[in-house]
Structure 1
Amino acid sequence: MPSPHRHHCTDLCGPIFKYYLPKDDSIRWHPTCWHPSYCLEGQQSPKAIEQPVRTKSKKVIIRLLGMASEIEFDQWHDGEWYGNIWKDLYESCIMPLREEAERSGKARMPVITLEAVERRTKTFDSSCIERFEELWPGKDSWDTIEYYAVYLGAMRFFNTWNTDLFDRGSGENLTEHQMNCLLWTVIQYDLHNTTKSQLKLAAERKRKAEERGF
């Protein structure tokens, strides 16, 4: 079976990147690189939402992002342009805040809203990415809102230019706020899944699966 090949599909879907997945006789050969091309069934444009969606469901997020499968979501979610940025935000900002809240006897860390983050983001605008890359040593002096603003700006930048998440070739242009709403939805999903209680449940599910031989 051929390995997945990322190609520039110009046959049916227009100038958008897809994965080749062997499925049936509808496979066509890509005219430029001569690898087989297959357009993923079910992949759509991300939804143009005006408010973040609070959900614990991966399936809901997959639909919001216009992705074709859980595999596609996991590759993006754990990859360089979301997963690595989220991990650094978590380790640099969120985890220390949670530890401080626990030491002080508070139930949870302060709640951050997208509205507050976007107000701060506008003061950076395109310099978000410069702060993310060039002012890395100075991040210890950032406050919580600034952390979120910079990392959200980096996620939006990279997923506009380095992935096809916000460019499915459909002609639909998302606003900066709509992109923020989608990314903020995923961030809130991850905030929920990295609480102590959820990590404990995940570890228990993994242990039981290993006992059953899965």
Structure 2
Amino acid sequence: MTHTPTTAKTVGRPAKRFSESSDVAKRRRIHTLLEKSAEELSFATQVTLRAQGLRTAAEMVKGVSECSENTQQLKKAITQSKKSPIKLTSDEALASFVQKKLTKNQYVAIHTETKTHNADIYPTYAELLLAKKRCYPENISVTEVLEEIVLQSLLDHTVRRIMITQKDVLQRVCASSGNSVNVRAIFKWGCDGAAGQQNYKQRFVDSDHNHDDSFMFVVSCVPIRLVD
């Protein structure tokens, strides 16, 4: 009579991998390791990592365990890698829009694409238009043959926008000199013109026939600097 040996079957639930275990199960499995010192555990970790071919990870564990400065550098690197994207303000987005000479469709496409990739850093195009509107001063008068603005409104608006842009600098100046500081704005002005422009066939409604669009004349005002 021939007896065929059999293999005993494992009884009970199959053992889970350590990464799949709960926190309670993990603590139970490492209970005996808690009796070891941090130095011993660090060395054992290095040996295990090298045995698995993870030499870089082993060197990192060694560097962190031997020097607290390395620990701070590693912590800083991890923290920086987890920083969320910083959303542009409407003014910053408008500046980027103008500098890159984008069209509306291009800007909307960029906004949609970045938002799809969980990097919603651009404001909507509607917010961009509001920021653009804030760039215009008050008291602007426009006709078919003339566009003009009250000089004081232009100066006030220009200085106000400069102060908004340089808000951090002005706050430091005020903090060092007191609650407030008086500054003077220096501007320059000039004229320029162009003749021989292409005439359009569209007639002027609010003007007589002596006007046309073949020439242009402009008076401009440009800020130079702010001084105290």
Shorter-chain TM band: under 0.3
* TM-score (normalised: structure 1): 0.21
Higher relative contact order (CA 8 A, sep 6+): 1
* TM-score (normalised: structure 2): 0.20
